[in-house]
Amino acid sequence: MVQKKDRYGNYKKRASRISLRLDKRSEHGPCDIIGDVHGCADELFELLEKLGYVNEKGCYTHPQGRRAVFLGDLCDRGPRNVDVLRAVMAMVEAKAALCVVGNHDDKLMRWLMGRNVQLTHGLENTAAELLRESGDFREKVRGFLSGLVSYYILDDGKLVVAHAGIKENLQGIDTVWVRKFCLYGEVTGEVDQYGFPIRKDWANEYRGRATVVYGHTPGPEPVIKNNTYCIDTACVFGGKLTALRYPELELVSVPARRVYSEPPQSLAAIMP
């Protein structure tokens, strides 16, 4: 490869491949990565307390300086969406948490921008709650959601967090296509017998050096394979809310207090 020279004849430094806003390589943790919350505020607060966070005036912080990392899908289907938004927004503002965007957050943002989106898949609950809040609050939520990035690279590149995961060759790239992958994962374009999109499991072929932690695909237990952790344990469907402590790689869960939303049949078939 031919290296380019600048106008003084010096070789140009190759630009860092990692987009700046995704680059948290200097953040070494420790942190607690939390899967899809979907408006399950009771379980979220219980989980944060179990992890040692303390609520001071509506903001959970950790006395040892640990930070929470939310994997997105904060809202929809569950009973207390605004309370979850308030708590996570306060933590992010206080630098007690990071948050990446999920497909439900993206759709909620588009609704708040006045776009024509269908109030389905639980967004109808969130929208109803938000319509009881002030316009200022809705504007604050819109601003918060529009600032969420697709994924973060943390701890010298040893940890990557994304809502639906991310393949190794996409890590560091910040394009609309990569954002789509992080939001929805890889889909085949076909639908299953229940009408849900069939997802390819990128994690099966993952051989990357970075540990990837993600949510999006609910299941009764976390799924660990090839240095990837899926920690969406279907809380809103009556499962549990799970955190992965990093670097300890310990899983911590709290059970759902009830079934808030009927699971899709494919999930119901594997739930205990």
What residue ranges bind Mn ion (CB under 5 A)? 36, 73
Best CA proximity match to 246, nearest among 171, 185, 161: 161
> In the bound complex, which residue of the shown chain has the CB atom lying closest to Mn ion?
73
> In the bound complex, what is the minimum distance in angstroms from residue 73's beta carbon to Mn ion?
4
Are 197 and 210 within 8 A, CB to CB? no
Which is nearer to Mn ion, 160 or 236 (by Cβ)?
236
> In the bound complex, what is the minimum distance in angstroms from residue 32's beta carbon to Mn ion?
18
Residue 22 CA: distances (Å) to CA of 19, 60, 75, 241: 6, 24, 23, 25
- What are the residues facing 240 on neighbouring strands? 234, 255
Which is nearer to Mn ion, 29 or 122 (by Cβ)?
122
> In the bound complex, what is the minimum distance in angstroms from residue 187's beta carbon to Mn ion?
14
Which is nearer to Mn ion, 117 or 173 (by Cβ)?
117
Which is nearer to Mn ion, 73 or 106 (by Cβ)?
73
Q: Is 51 helix (H, G, I), strand (E, B) or coil?
A: coil
Which is nearer to Mn ion, 61 or 233 (by Cβ)?
233
Euclidean distance between CA atoms 196 and 45, whole angstroms: 31
Phi and psi, residue 193, nearest 5°: -65, -15
Pairing type for strands 59-61 and 54-56 reads: antiparallel
> In the bound complex, what is the minimum distance in angstroms from residue 150's beta carbon to Mn ion?
15
Euclidean distance between CA atoms 223 and 203, whole angstroms: 10
> In the bound complex, what is the minimum distance in angstroms from residue 93's beta carbon to Mn ion?
23
Structure tokens at 58: 């509506």
Which is nearer to Mn ion, 73 or 129 (by Cβ)?
73
> In the bound complex, what is the minimum distance in angstroms from residue 126's beta carbon to Mn ion?
13
